[in-house]
Amino acid sequence: MKYAIITGSSKGLGASTAKQLLKAGVHVVGIARETNDSLLQVAKETGATYQHFNCNLSDTNQLDRTFEKINDQVFKKDTELVYLINNAATVKPIDIATRLTSEAVQAHMQLNLIAPILTTSLVLKRAKHCGIKTVITNVSSGAAGRSTYGWSLYGSSKAGLNRYTETVALEQAELKTGHQVILFDPSIMDTNMQGDIRSTSPEAFQDVEQFKQYKADNKLSNTTDVANVLVKILLDDTAIINGKYYSIKDYL
Ligand SMILES: NC(=O)c1ccc[n+]([C@@H]2O[C@H](COP(=O)([O-])OP(=O)(O)OC[C@H]3O[C@@H](n4cnc5c(N)ncnc54)[C@H](OP(=O)(O)O)[C@@H]3O)[C@@H](O)[C@H]2O)c1
């Protein structure tokens, strides 16, 4: 049996990825603050199981407790492979550095950077203990590689995630564990996150008009198309290149 643990499964790319994996017969465990009942319906139709855990990933205690339970459920005798997809993230707050509050900075970094670091560590530790192969995908963004006015937090949290992922991949390779850690950059998609970006003021985000234009010109990808690519990469697990930055631009 194969299991996938997906953070941010309630909507956007996470929900589409959960759906595609269920259709491929992979059992899915989803994590978000809200539920998405359509995934239960998909599970019913496919025979794979979908289980949802309500968790605010910005809260470390909740994260620890949730992953203890999830690891107990997925790392079992008859499990051949566990996927972890660290997808949940926020672009907010968008603003210049001098207007960011401590609370907002902390919540952002906790969700976008600390949570995937903690989940990667918890899952790899359990995988080592149980001797079950694990493939971890950390969802990145082109924003990690360039500076965007108003996006100091989002750009730096994703840049940190890139360095973290590449370092863990190197460690796993050196240790010959067989576990793989990759990055996946979905590029611009038509989700709530893009709605958050478009609703920002030009004072906070200079390029807001350009992002409104992306939507008007239909330049945003559909999450189903992006998830199809990610799931194809993941299902062909012997071809996955540990530490690789997979970009949707090479596929769509
Ligand atoms: N959309 C784009 O154009 C774009 C571009 C490049 C990269 N990305 C990356 O792609 C990934 C998915 O983005 P998306 O556009 O699909 O985002 P989205 O539609 O805003 O969905 C975000 C998901 O994260 C969950 N989430 C947010 N805060 C959370 C919290 N505190 N605790 C637990 N779950 C939380 C949300 O669930 P709840 O609200 O139910 O908690 C939701 O399921 C992200 O890593 C993003 O950085 C997106």
Domain of residue 35, CATH code: 3.40.50.720
**Tens-digit pLDDT profile for the chain (252 aa)?**
999 999 999 999 999 999 999 999 999 999 999 999 999 999 999 999 999 999 999 999 999 999 999 999 999 999 999 999 999 999 999 999 999 999 999 999 999 999 999 999 999 999 999 999 999 999 999 999 999 999 999 999 999 999 999 999 999 999 999 999 999 999 999 999 999 999 999 999 999 999 999 999 999 999 999 999 999 999 998 999 999 999 999 999
* pTM for this entry: 0.99
Q: Which residues, at least 6 apart from 122, have a Cβ–Cβ distance to it below 8 Å?
A: 64, 67, 68, 71
pLDDT given at position 237? 87
pLDDT given at position 221? 98
31, 33, 194, best to mutate for ligand 1 pocket (most atoms within 8 Å of CB)? 33
Tokens of 95: 């603003």
Residues marked as catalytic: 154
Number of structural domains found in the chain: 1
pLDDT given at position 248? 98
pLDDT given at position 154? 98
pLDDT given at position 77? 95
pLDDT given at position 66? 98
Domain holding 180, by residue range, is 2-250
Nearest CA residue ID for atom 8, ligand 1: 141
Identify the residues whose C-beta falls under 6 Å from ligand 1.
8-14, 32-34, 55-58, 87-90, 111, 139, 141, 186-189, 191-194
